[in-house]
A and B are shown apart, each in its own frame.
Chain A
């Protein structure tokens, strides 16, 4: 019995790293994705080509590879590793990789959402004397949010599960923790990590359903 509660407590503790990575990624990738989206929609060709190329590379290669490269490449290329030794540095490196990766995915979702809102909406704002930013924040944004919500829900749920990839550079997240017990011949801790993910994803699903309901009052 004590064994069970001790192991569950340790798994929960490890899961905090997953949660941390999840929240940090959202915190930075959500706004960064918007910047990337505007970059790829820019009328300044070199900028849009550059941005689209970066997005293509990031979306076209495994996140796991990106984590490894971001963590090891600077040091091995003789540039000096920017990551501090220890757990903090490893989490930081993983966060950077996740933020870049997810910003690119979000940017494509944003782009589709923004381009999907009719030109007429922008023009209606323009002829009413609104500024570009007023049009974006007061007219377009909520319509974009409504349009992209289902795709964002998918992506965010994928992010929850992807956080376990951070163990590739020895971040002790929940699955890595459970594997310590697998090595000692215990399989149930590994199974129970699934429950953590299921609970988290379940909560998110409820949240997104609620949000979609909230925006159900208009058609975009």
Chain B
């Protein structure tokens, strides 16, 4: 059974229809890449999954259970939305680390606050910190645990943001163009980290403009245009042999050599 099912998702901002009936599903342990032109609604889709926007229509299911149903107010209560969010993690394009906290504290803060609400404080504290150190080591940031965000490069900041999102053990980790805000020479280190997460079978939704990366890392790929899923399939097939004209047009923009080199 799919871990995530999105059914008929609609979202408008005022008069602008941004999502016009999005459908897809995702299996446990798989990486889904979403590609599409600027303004096609990719960010809006991720924001809906993370309850930063409320869809006008549609259903979101996790492991077959309804997480959100636009037609059922009982699935939209504020208190529960907070908990439901924890099914997802979100890595933003521009990191949004908390500037006043060290790298370690950035990773532990949310977990500490949750633990405090649930009691069991002292024991949890040590566990949370150990887990955070482990994650940061995995991100290659062991030496930076006591640094502040402004002392890090963009690539390092984004890796901290990934560790921060992983610390709450989300079922599904979402990335919104995780390398778009980075200097070209820094994208590699972030893509490598995401690639290693894919190898560990982390369930992920990755919005990206890095076509080679999407082709090599994703298990499944979706091409979005103008608020709908135009085409989806196995990344190799879709990228090398698109069926839809719109997909072909979009991909032709990435046809120069450098886009396809391995990261």
Interface residues of A (CB under 8 A from B): 118, 120-121, 123-131, 134, 138-139, 142-143, 146, 217-220
Contact = CB atoms under 8 A, between A and B. Distances in A.
Given A142-B100, A143-B99, A218-B99, A126 B85 contact: yes
A129 B110 contact: yes
Interface of B: 50-52, 82-83, 85-86, 88-90, 92, 94, 96-100, 109-110, 113-114, 148-150, 164-165, 168
B100 A127 contact: no
Contact of A220 (B52, B90, B99, B110): B99
Nearest to B99: A218
Contact of A218 (B51, B100, B113, B165): B100
Given A123-B52, A128-B164, A129-B110, A217 B85 contact: no
B82 A129 contact: yes
13 contacts: A121-B98, A123-B52, A123-B92, A126-B85, A127-B52, A127-B89, A127-B165, A129-B83, A129-B86, A129-B110, A130-B113, A131-B82, A220-B99
A128 B52 CA distance: 12
Contacts of B83: 129
A124 B99 CA distance: 12
A120 B96 contact: yes
Contact of B88 (A124, A127, A134, A220): A127
A129 B51 CA distance: 11
A129 B114 CA distance: 8
A146 B98 CA distance: 14
Contacts, number: 59
Contacts of B110: 125, 128-130
Given A127-B85, A128-B168, A129-B168, A120 B100 contact: no
A127 B113 contact: no
Given A129-B114, A130-B113, A138-B113, A219 B150 contact: yes
B38 to A, nearest CB: 19
Contacts of B148: 217-218
Contacts of A138: 109, 113
Name the residue among A125, A127, A129, A130 with the largest chain B CB count within 10 angstroms.
A127
A220 B150 CA distance: 9
A124 B92 contact: yes
B167 to A, nearest CB: 9
Contacts of A127: 50, 52, 85, 88-90, 165
A217 B86 CA distance: 31
A143 B98 CA distance: 9
Contact of B100 (A126, A128, A134, A143): A143
A134 B52 contact: no
B94 A120 contact: yes
Contacts of B90: 127
A46 B94 CA distance: 35
A121 B96 contact: yes
Contact of A126 (B52, B89, B94, B149): B52
Contacts of B113: 130, 134, 138
A138 B100 CA distance: 10
B65 to A, nearest CB: 18
Contacts of A131: 82
Contacts of A120: 92, 94, 96
Contacts of A217: 148
A211 to B, nearest CB: 14
B164 A218 contact: no
A211 B86 CA distance: 37
Q: Which 6 A-B pairs have the closest CB atoms?
A: A128-B110, A124-B96, A120-B96, A219-B150, A127-B90, A218-B99
B150 A139 contact: no
